[in-house]
Amino acid sequence: MLKRTVYEVIEGGGRRNRAGRIYDAGEITLILLSVVAALLSTDADLEARYGWLFMAVDVGAGLAFTLEYLLRIWVCVDDRRGRYNEPLAGRLRYMLTPVSLIDLLAILPFWLAAAPDISIEQLWLLRALRVLKLQRYSSALETLGTVISNERRPLTASGTLMMSLLVLLSSLIYLAEREAQPDHFGSVPEAMWWGIVTLATVGYGDVVPITLPGRIIGGVSVVAGTGIINLHAGILANGFAEEMRRRNFVVTWNLVASVPFFERLAASRIAEIAAMLKSQVASPGEILVRQGDRADCMYFIVSGEVEVRLPNILVHLRSGDFFGEIALLTDSVRTATVAALTSCQLLVLRVDDFRKVLAAHPDLRETISRVAEERLRVPVAES
């Protein structure tokens, strides 16, 4: 029981419970403090004045990261995916995973500080590498890895093109400049330094062609490099956009499927409606609908509770309910104010998509219209 509780906090808690979120926030803060202290300690004046503070941060971080590392090894056998179920073999497999090796790297400077053969520079580098621990808490790095994997073929093709251009242009500039600048272009490998900084459009200026043919080749190289860099950027940007659309769709699909109003629909119909719905999070006290405003959408409550403020009555709506439909059906203004009582996860259906859904799904139209008629007879919810 204790092991499972610890697992939920340090491995899955950040997105599931308050204790996990507090733990993750503390861990991120400690990582950042440790890295900042390591960076500042390279300044001689700061080290002389605050060296004791930097040392205290490093000792505290080293002890905390060591405890965290041991706890993660202890609880890894409770992994939800069952990847490390075996008490010994499972833990050994976990210790060889990239994230576990990064955790091990983070505690090494603390335990190696007393080693006689390690230098201050080596310890500083190991402390600075603790910044890699942030990848555990960042979905952006995971997304980047997914995008690179998905786009590996076009990236490989553009990389091959850039390598071919590098070899070709370095060879040409060698032929054009070798006699004029034998110290910079005395061989193709030496010329490749110029080729790399030119194709990458960095242009350090330490090596430049001085002959007319060399300058022509340089101009062509800059134009070609700009195109190649933009090609890489375009591939990655398109990959990121596709991945984010895919993830947002999956999240929205799951939210739609969890609403009782849609739970009887076939997967294909849920997917169709999910493409129209937008996810929205409301904080306690936030006004979602204001009386007298023009209606432009309706809401489905995935989780949380809202309060409908009618002239003579207050009504609470919870997960599975919806509101805002009557004003869309009657093409009128809002007749009440709706505010979030708790943190709410909502799905929003805009008026144009609302009409499309009703036209394409007569059964949903019938249900919404029936509820709207009941609410008009007995003021139960805002519309």
pLDDT digits (tens, 9 = 90+) for 221-254: 999 989 988 988 899 888 888 887 777 777 777 7
Q: Are 258 and 178 in contact (CB under 8 A)?
A: no
Question: For residue 333, what pLDDT is reported?
Answer: 84
Q: pLDDT for 250-296, tens place per residue?
A: 777 777 776 666 766 777 777 777 778 888 888 888 899 888 888 88
Q: Does residue 16 carry a pLDDT above 60?
A: no
Question: SS in 3 state form for 124-171?
Answer: HHHHHHHHHHHHHHCHHHHHHHHHHHHCHHHHHHHHHHHHHHHHHHHH
Q: Give the largest CA-CA distance in the chain.
A: 95
CATH class name, domain 2-137:
mainly alpha
Q: pLDDT for 181-217, tens place per residue?
A: 998 898 999 999 999 998 888 878 788 899 999 999 9
Is the domain covering 152-243 a CATH 1.10.287.70 domain? yes
Q: Tokens 């603390």 label which residue?
A: 110
CA torsion 271-277-278-283 (nearest 10°) is -110
Residues sharing a CB contact under 8 Å with residue 154, sequence separation 6 or more, in sequence order: 235
Q: pLDDT for 120-131, tens place per residue?
A: 777 778 888 888
* DSSP-derived secondary structure for 280-317: EEE-TT-EEE-TTSBP-EEEEEEESEEEEEETTEEEEE
Give CATH superfamily name and number for 277-377. Jelly Rolls (2.60.120.10)
Q: Quick one: DSSP state of residue 347?
A: E
d(CA 266, CA 260): 13
Q: Are 240 and 159 in contact (CB under 8 A)?
A: no
- Average pLDDT in the chain: 83
Domain map of the chain by residue range?
A: 2-137, 152-243, 277-377
Question: For residue 380, what pLDDT is reported?
Answer: 45
Question: For residue 167, what pLDDT is reported?
Answer: 93
Question: For residue 70, what pLDDT is reported?
Answer: 92
What average pLDDT does the segment 313-320 reach?
A: 84
Q: pLDDT for 153-183, tens place per residue?
A: 998 998 899 999 999 999 999 999 998 999 8
